[in-house]
Homo-oligomer: A and B are copies of this chain.
Amino acid sequence: VSREQAIELARKGRDAALELYFQSLRIPSVSALPEHAADCRRNADFLVEELGRAGLTVRLVEGDGHPTVYGEWLGVPGKPTLLVYGHYDVQPPDPLEEWVTPPFEPTVRDGVVVARGAEDSKGNHMAVLAAVRHAMAAGGGSLPINLKVAIEGEEEGGGNVLPTFVAREAAALACDCVLVLDGGFVVPGVPCLELATRGIVYTEVEITGPAIDVHSGSYGGVSPNPFNTAGWIIAGLKSPDGKVLIPGFYDAVREAPEAELRSWRSSGITEKQILEETGAPELAGEDEYPMLVRMWARPTLDVHGIRGGFTGEGTKTVIPARAVMKVSMRLVADQDPLRIFQLFKKHVESLATAGTRIQVRQLGPPSSPVNFGIDHPGARAAAAAFEKAWGKPVMYTRAGGSIPVAEDFAKHLRTGMVGCGFSQPGGRAHSPNEQMPLDAFHRGTEMLIHLFWEFAELSG
């Protein structure tokens, strides 16, 4: 009865829930840019205030970076405990000129809200806030399960505040399932549960040549050129057919089990869909592997940009003094990020050419690939809750991206885990005009309400 009342309250309270969601989207909580540090804290304070108002006991977890918001309600000893993870920080909004409306002024068009963070990931944890408020109200100040909520501010930029917290207070965070709420749907309208994430190692390769930018007429033919060398390094790291050329890179790669491969084959996710989402004229990569295997179960390597040299309008004939290249690798179980970074560094250093010096460094903390497991009450409850909210059975997937903290949860909490989220295909995470359908936000709120009760029943 309380469950139905909570759902009823959620439906009546949609405008109020959206208002809070939009308030959070107006905060430019860009964790990677130092000039937005105060905005990150403002977002954290906002969550402390609102989660507290909803009935949780909330505190800011401080550390060397952006704070984590931690709230809990432990009013039903003996009942299972769910830990919900989210992040309030967002990616930088550039290139700004490609946004149709300003990134931090949420705008609704055709039932879709457009803003940085709309789907990644404010649309997820602001639905948690709504669900807790309504479930508490329906239960007379009580929830059917014990709830812990950890919302960090360093998912997009890297940081140690939440990992340190998890390691230090693992006992306090003990739970029966972690809901890693930072994912989404891969087929429109079909909820999905993620069984694994890829890890990441993000690096910066600094190549120096001449001590100053020099004239390419005067010195072309004898001066080392760090940008030429950057090209040779890229070509030495990966071949055009998608193979990473670092010796030992693939040694620990575990193939996906046949059961997962089968579910991917019947997923209905088509190459056409991925081409539409990315706008690429055709796909690239290891064409001996099916598309979803390449996205979910194969490691890869991408160059993100190269700082230095002349990139303005017109012609400037310099041989640049330096090129600073950002390169990351996506990893799958059982690749170890530290081992992979060592192999990468050694290989890149071996690619130095005459007159160049190379420095290789890691940016942000590396993240291990994690397999979540599916055979536990939390995952079953989430599947049931999704089916109730969307009217369709879930599909099982993996996340191609990294959730660094999933590794910490796996290591310190040793409990069931499940990844999911409410974003829809084409939501443009990390890109201009990021968006989230309002319907997905509202159904997500209801899914979470159902989850509280399903988890209580399934674990009972």
Contacts and interface: CB of A to CB of B under 8 A. Distances in A.
B221 A230 contact: no
Contacts of A312: 32-33, 92, 94
Contact of A232 (B234, B285, B354, B356): B234
Interface in A90-116: 91-92, 94-95, 98
Nearest to A353: B240
| 3 closest cross-chain pairs (CB), A and B | A217-B401, A211-B279, A231-B234
Contacts of A279: 210-212, 321
A87 to B, nearest CB: 14
A98 B302 contact: no
Contact of A363 (B233, B285, B315, B402): B315
Given A92-B310, A220-B330, A231-B303, 18 more contacts: A33-B312, A198-B220, A211-B279, A219-B400, A221-B330, A222-B295, A224-B284, A228-B301, A228-B302, A231-B232, A232-B240, A282-B354, A283-B354, A302-B319, A304-B319, A304-B320, A314-B364, A315-B363
B284 A225 contact: yes
A228 B231 CA distance: 8
Contact of A314 (B211, B280, B324, B363): B363
A274 to B, nearest CB: 6
Interface residues of A, number: 103
The residue among A34, A200, A283, A305 with the most chain B CB atoms within 10 A of its own CB is A305
A158 interface: yes
Contacts of A223: 278, 280, 283-284
A318 interface: yes
A64 to B, nearest CB: 15
Nearest to A278: B210
Interface in A61-94: 91-92, 94
Interface in A185-226: 198, 200, 202, 209-225
A263 interface: no
Interface in A307-323: 307-321
Interface in A348-377: 353-357, 363-364
A286 interface: yes
29 contacts: A32-B313, A92-B312, A92-B316, A200-B217, A210-B279, A213-B430, A215-B401, A218-B400, A218-B401, A219-B277, A220-B295, A220-B330, A221-B242, A222-B274, A223-B284, A227-B305, A228-B303, A230-B231, A231-B233, A231-B234, A232-B234, A234-B235, A279-B321, A282-B355, A284-B353, A306-B306, A315-B363, A315-B364, A318-B431
Contacts of A294: 221-222
A48 B305 CA distance: 46
B158 A212 contact: no
A281 interface: yes
Contacts of A216: 302, 304, 328, 330, 401
Interface in A399-427: 399-402
Contact of A311 (B34, B326, B432): B326
A429 interface: yes
Contacts of A220: 198, 295, 300, 302, 330, 400
A41 interface: no
A222 B281 contact: no
A94 B299 CA distance: 39
A225 B302 contact: yes
A447 to B, nearest CB: 22
A250 to B, nearest CB: 13
Contacts of A228: 234, 238, 301-303
A55 interface: no
A291 interface: yes
Given A238-B228, A281-B357, A402 B217 contact: yes
A148 interface: no
Contacts of A309: 303-306, 326
A234 B240 contact: no
A59 interface: no
Contacts of A299: 221
A283 B222 contact: yes
Given A312-B92, A316-B91, A429 B33 contact: no
Contacts of A202: 315, 317
